[in-house]
């Protein structure tokens, strides 16, 4: 049962004034700080413990809805001065039927001016980038890569909500036993179509309240991310490096593939992120992972030419995960700087595999400049590496994939957007 205030009587979907106020606060903070919306919402809910689960869900849905539609909403508002609260109201209202009295009831500044703007607005005046809620440069690149029809479908998919995928931890459960246990806990899950480790939930679920999660049977991980970890083709007893470990989702997947046998090193430039990985490792029953904060020249020298597999999940524009992190689309990525960083990281990581060792380059980017172009430049600079068939590697791991590289698109595959290529050192 919700615990905040009385509903406002308007033609908009029922929403409580207190919910709108908190949504506005979260949206203002997100737009001002360009921090992840989920982190800001968590802070807001901790400071407002009177929020029930229904309140949190509705506030979060509204904030994410505005972010996924921000450019269009701002274009509709035009020169009318709108704050974050007005953007929330615009998201809620049927814009064609919005009236000044309705906007004023919601406390929208300059309600009459905005109502006039809405009455006169012609949707045909929106640019394709505004309509699709994409930064101009990103929209132009996607058009060049995919054409108008595919770009429109991709943009529509990026404005939707991402599904909830889980990776089954084979150190503790089979996919079938995990699916059955989730069902006993009241959570319906289907097998993911491509990853042999994945379960896809039919809706949201409070994972932290489920024994299957607390005991490490399952871990949230998009199906595409699961496939990237499988592409490393790691085996028990090997020496493996997760070169850009981040939050550690792929580290956990690699450890399970290795049956927690061998040497697995999780590297990242953020020591604090690596520390946060420890509880996840303990929950998963993983003991064979060590953390290493980069740069560490001595450690890299010791590892050079001695590793069986290295996974580089490189920093990128993150355009492929805009469904989950819509605030990331608020700024134009610096693709030249990102590509230079990606090539530098690949150059450094390429020193680590032994002869016959494996190297995987991956991003959560949709952009060829960060994917295909980086691969081409890397191979030109590193003749000691040859590209291997990603589809063959994944099929050997029990996955369903065809193609020399892994290229996942939300509108085609129902996953986040990912790219990955595999190499072998000769």
Q: What is the pLDDT of residues 350-407, one digit of tens each?
A: 999 999 999 999 999 999 999 999 999 999 999 999 999 999 999 999 999 999 999 9
Q: Last residue of some domain: 185, 200, 220?
A: 220
48 and 113 co-located in one domain: yes
| Three-state secondary structure call for residue 50 | coil
275 and 348 co-located in one domain: yes
The DSSP 8-state label assigned to residue 334 in this structure reads -
70 and 135 co-located in one domain: no
pLDDT value of residue 79:
64
What tokens appear for 306 in the block?
């001695």
Segments of 80-144 assigned E as strands:
none
253 and 328 co-located in one domain: yes
Beta carbons within 8 Å of 146's beta carbon, 6+ residues apart: 154
326 and 352 co-located in one domain: yes
Residue 126: exposure state from Cβ atoms within 10 A (0-12, 13-18, ≥19): middle
DSSP track, 120-168:
H--GGGS-HHHHHT--HHHHHHHHHHHHHHHHHHHHHHHTSPPP-EEEE
pLDDT value of residue 5:
34
Judge whether residue 10 has pLDDT over 70: no
* Spatial contact of 233 and 147, defined as CB atoms under 8 Å apart: no
Beta carbons within 8 Å of 129's beta carbon, 6+ residues apart: 71, 135, 136, 139, 140
Q: What is the pLDDT of residues 95-113, one digit of tens each?
A: 445 667 677 777 777 778 8
Comparing 100-114, 210-224, 231-245, 273-287, the range with the smallest average pLDDT is: 100-114
Domain-embedded: residue 7: no
| Three-state secondary structure call for residue 17 | helix
Domain-embedded: residue 376: yes
pLDDT value of residue 419:
98
Q: Of residues 88, 244, 307, 364, which has the active-site annotation?
A: 364
Q: Report the domain count for the chain.
A: 4
* Tokens 């470990």, located at residue: 245
93 and 33 co-located in one domain: yes
What tokens appear for 211 in the block?
């024994």
Please provide the size of the chain in residues: 426
Q: What is the pLDDT of residues 110-156, one digit of tens each?
A: 778 888 888 888 889 999 999 999 999 999 999 999 999 999 999 99
Distance CA 292, CA 279 (A): 16
295 and 205 co-located in one domain: no
More confident residue, 271 or 392: 392
Segments of 134-234 assigned E as strands:
165-168, 189-191, 198-201, 218-220
Question: What is the 3-state composition of the chain as percent helix, strand, coil, each rounded to the nearest 5?
Answer: 50, 15, 35
Judge whether residue 2 has pLDDT over 60: no
Nearest to 310 by CA among 338, 335, 346, 284: 346
Q: What's the pTM value of the predicted model, to 2 decimals?
A: 0.91
Average pLDDT over residues 208-229: 97
Domain-embedded: residue 101: yes
What tokens appear for 381 in the block?
């600079």
Q: What is the pLDDT of residues 26-56, one digit of tens each?
A: 998 988 876 789 999 999 999 998 888 888 8
Average pLDDT over residues 187-198: 97
Q: In the annotation, is 364 catalytic?
A: yes
* Spatial contact of 328 and 321, defined as CB atoms under 8 Å apart: yes
More confident residue, 186 or 203: 186
Judge whether residue 22 has pLDDT over 50: yes
User: Which domain, by its residues, includes 323?
Assistant: 232-425
pLDDT value of residue 316:
97
Domain-embedded: residue 409: yes
Judge whether residue 80 has pLDDT over 80: no
Q: Is the peptide bond before 295 cis (omega within 30 degrees of 0)?
A: yes
Domain-embedded: residue 283: yes
Judge whether residue 314 has pLDDT over 60: yes
CATH number of the structural domain spanning residue 327: 3.40.50.150
């Amino acid at each position: 049962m919700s615990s905040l205030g009385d509903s406002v009587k308007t033609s908009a979907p029922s929403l409580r004034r207190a919910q709108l106020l908190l949504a506005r606060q979260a949206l203002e903070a997100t737009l001002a700080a360009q921090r992840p919306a989920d982190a800001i919402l968590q802070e807001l809910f901790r400071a407002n413990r009177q929020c029930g689960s229904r309140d949190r869900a509705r506030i979060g849905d509204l904030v994410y809805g505005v972010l996924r539609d921000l450019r269009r909403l701002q274009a509709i508002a035009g020169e009318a001065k709108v704050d974050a609260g007005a953007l929330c109201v615009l998201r809620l209202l049927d814009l064609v039927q919005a009236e000044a009295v309705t906007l004023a009831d919601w406390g929208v500044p300059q309600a009459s001016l905005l109502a006039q703007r809405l009455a006169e607005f012609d949707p045909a005046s929106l640019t394709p980038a505004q309509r699709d809620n994409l930064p101009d440069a990103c929209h132009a690149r996607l058009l060049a890569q995919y054409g108008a029809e595919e770009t429109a479908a991709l943009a529509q998919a990026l404005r939707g909500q991402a599904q909830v995928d889980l990776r089954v931890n084979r150190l503790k459960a089979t996919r079938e036993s995990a699916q059955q246990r989730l069902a006993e806990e009241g959570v319906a899950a289907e097998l993911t179509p491509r990853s042999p480790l994945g379960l896809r939930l039919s809706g949201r679920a409070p994972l932290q309240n489920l024994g299957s999660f607390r005991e490490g049977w399952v871990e949230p991980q998009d199906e595409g991310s699961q496939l990237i970890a499988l592409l490393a083709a790691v085996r028990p007893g090997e020496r493996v490096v997760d070169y850009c470990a981040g939050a550690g989702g792929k580290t956990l997947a690699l450890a399970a593939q290795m049956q927690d046998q061998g040497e697995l090193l999780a590297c990242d430039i953020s020591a604090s992120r690596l520390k946060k990985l420890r509880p996840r490792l303990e929950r998963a029953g993983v003991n064979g992972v060590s953390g290493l904060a980069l740069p560490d020249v001595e450690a890299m020298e010791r590892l050079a030419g001695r590793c069986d597999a290295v996974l580089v999940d490189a920093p990128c524009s993150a355009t492929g995960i805009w469904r989950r992190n819509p605030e990331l689309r608020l700024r134009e990525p610096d693709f030249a700087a990102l590509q230079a960083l990606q090539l530098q990281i690949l150059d450094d990581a390429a020193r680590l595999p032994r002869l016959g060792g494996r190297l995987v380059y991956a991003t959560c980017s949709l952009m060829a400049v960060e994917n295909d172009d980086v691969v081409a430049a890397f191979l030109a600079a590193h003749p000691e590496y040859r590209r291997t068939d990603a589809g063959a590697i994944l099929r050997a791991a029990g996955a369903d994939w065809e193609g020399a590289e892994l290229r996942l698109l939300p509108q085609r595959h129902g996953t986040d957007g990912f790219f990955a290529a595999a190499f072998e050192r000769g």
